[in-house]
Amino acid sequence: MDAIQAMCTRRSVRKYTEDPVKEEDLRKILDCGRLAPTGVNRQAWRFIVVTDAAVKAAVAEATDYGKFIASAPVVIAVAIGPDAACPNEDSAAAACNMLNAAHALGYGGCWIGSNGNATAERVGKVLRLPAGWKIYALFSVGVPAEEAHREKKRLEEVVSYNGF
């Protein structure tokens, strides 16, 4: 699947089979996150891969809307350090790259809202973040057990030229 097709067909998946994410695929997914654009090229991120069932359960419990991630084979948290010039943008770019890479490799995923809210703080405690680091993105990855069919708005509904 090419990049355009991946971006045009990716949808959030919240149910997964018990099949594992292959290690070589996980490395590709993480590498795509590493290669995302980052403000002033600071690369002030750390990708925390959670595969341990007990840790996934604790992370899931710490979320407001992500209880389902406990059943995903992999959960990835994007932590941003204090040296980041653009923490929101950096984390979003990395997470989008990884979610699109996962989809291109045949996996599903779902981004859990965690930027700057209580979920981020609780998840950060579970993952033992050092001082100054915060969770800015959190998402699950696995082999889809369902086909996502959420319709997207038409291009004409979301694009304006030369002003709103």
**In contact, 127 and 30? CB cutoff 8 Å:** no
161, pLDDT greater than 70? yes
pLDDT for residue 30: 98
pLDDT value of residue 114: 66
Torsion of CA 116, 118, 123, 125, to 10 degrees: 100
pLDDT band at 3 (very low <50, low <70, confident <90, very high): confident
Mean pLDDT value of segment 113-119: 71
Write b or e for each residue in 1-37: b if 16 or more Cβ atoms lie within 10 A of its Cβ, otherwise e. eeeeebeeebeebbbbeeeebeeebbeebbebbeebe
Distance of CA 122 to the CA centre of its chain: 17
Per-residue pLDDT tens digits for 8-54: 888 999 999 999 999 999 999 999 999 999 999 999 999 999 999 99
pLDDT per residue over 49-108, tens digit each?
999 999 999 999 999 899 999 999 999 999 999 999 999 999 999 999 999 999 999 999
Q: What is the pLDDT of residue 55?
A: 98
Question: Is the model's pLDDT at 116 over the cut of 80?
Answer: no
Q: What is the pLDDT of residue 1?
A: 84
